[in-house]
A = this chain, B = another copy of it.
Amino acid sequence: MAPGDQSSLFPMDPGPGAFDLPALWLERTGPERDVVVSSRMRLARNVDGFHFKPKLDPGEGQRLETYLHTVLGEIDPALRYHALHELPEHHREVMFERHLVSREHVSDEQPRAVAFDRTGTTSVMVNEEDHLRIQVFSPGLDLDELQGRVRELDARIASRVAYCFDERFGYITACPTNTGTGLRVSVMLHLPALAFRPEVRGARGGERDIVRMHNAAQQLGLTVRGLFGESSRAEGDFFQISNQVTLGRTAEQTVHDVHELVQLVLDWERRSRETHLKTNRHRLEDHVWRAWALLGHARRMSSGEALAHLSALRLGVCLGIIDRVDVGTLQGLMVTMRPGHLQHLAGRELTPEERDVVRAARIRDALSST
């Protein structure tokens, strides 16, 4: 099976109202895969002649949505357009879990949409906080590739749409924190060694290293958050580094700053892994094998527990402690074990208890077939 092929993940008929899911690109890995999960670039753009989102009434919102539907369809026929307000909740949830739409976009009341291609690595949100949010994704660390791709798409849209642009400030956005380049560069890192907590795993602590990373980020005008936006302790030891400043710095400078911090943290994490291997080998191996054991045998599992074990196993695979599974499979499971995907697969809503049982079964299947 080719990586990213979705057939193995959704073997059942997802039922009426189904939409074609894009490929699960997180099942592929990219440069610096031992530490970097994925990279993302996002541009915030607004269309001249329409009110900004906070002042947009439903009629005008609908007109904007219809207009952008036409434009996006003409620019790139590969972009499939979905009016979110016409989709059942669990379809929107699946799109959120694939990072195609934001949490706010899922639950908004306004006419709104998303367009994405079959690769799942390009998406355009319509009527999110800004009229347009153009996003591109890539597994691993690949900011040059992303920059080329997002620029090209931006230019194609700009050839058809008049953006709100000010010579002095740059792109004007609904929230001033995005004004300027409108660019957010984010890199998702897996930092289990830096975050290794002594009270949990009996090793020398890593809180100090996490603080050091936050300080370094601040100095560069960057920010570090957990997988779900939490700022201190990150779920599953996944941290996202991204820029905060969009005004007064060029896109190139922003990409450069993020890249610099990522390289620094990459280096810290790798050294820390080596140290743990030398000084805590038994504990580390135990931690990894227990994760493998529980993922492969549990009969019910919460998403939080699953994420923690997938994190431990990812570390174990990267360190060569275990070779029965590959990093891409684990990254894919991080997405497909989430509630929206489980319900999409079942074709109906599931209670939390049902989800825990279905999740455990799904993970067991995925790992036993590897």
Residues of A within 8 A of B (CB): 282-283, 285-286, 289-290, 292-294, 296-300, 353, 357, 360
The docked-state distance in angstroms from the alpha carbon of A294 to that of B294 is 7
Name the CB-closest residue of B to A291: B297
**When the two chains form their complex, are residues A293 and B297 in contact, meaning their CB atoms are under 8 A apart?**
yes
Name the CB-closest residue of B to A295: B293
Q: How many identical subunits does the complex contain?
A: 2
Residue in B292, B293, B296, B300 whose CB lies within 8 Å of A283: B300
The docked-state distance in angstroms from the alpha carbon of A292 to that of B299 is 12
* Pairs A-B, 6 closest by C-beta atoms: A293-B297, A293-B293, A286-B299, A289-B297, A285-B299, A286-B300
Provide 12 A-B residue pairs closer than 8 Å at the C-beta atoms, listed in order of the A residue: A282-B299, A282-B353, A282-B357, A286-B299, A290-B294, A290-B297, A290-B298, A292-B297, A293-B294, A293-B296, A293-B297, A293-B298
Residues of B with C-beta under 8 A to A289: 297-299
Name the CB-closest residue of B to A364: B289
Residues of B with C-beta under 8 A to A296: 293
Residues of B with C-beta under 8 A to A294: 290, 293-294
Name the CB-closest residue of B to A360: B286
Chain B min CB distance to A310 (Å): 15
Residues of B with C-beta under 8 A to A282: 299-300, 353, 357
Name the CB-closest residue of B to A301: B286
The docked-state distance in angstroms from the alpha carbon of A245 to that of B285 is 51
The docked-state distance in angstroms from the alpha carbon of A357 to that of B289 is 13
Name the CB-closest residue of B to A357: B282
The docked-state distance in angstroms from the alpha carbon of A122 to that of B358 is 51
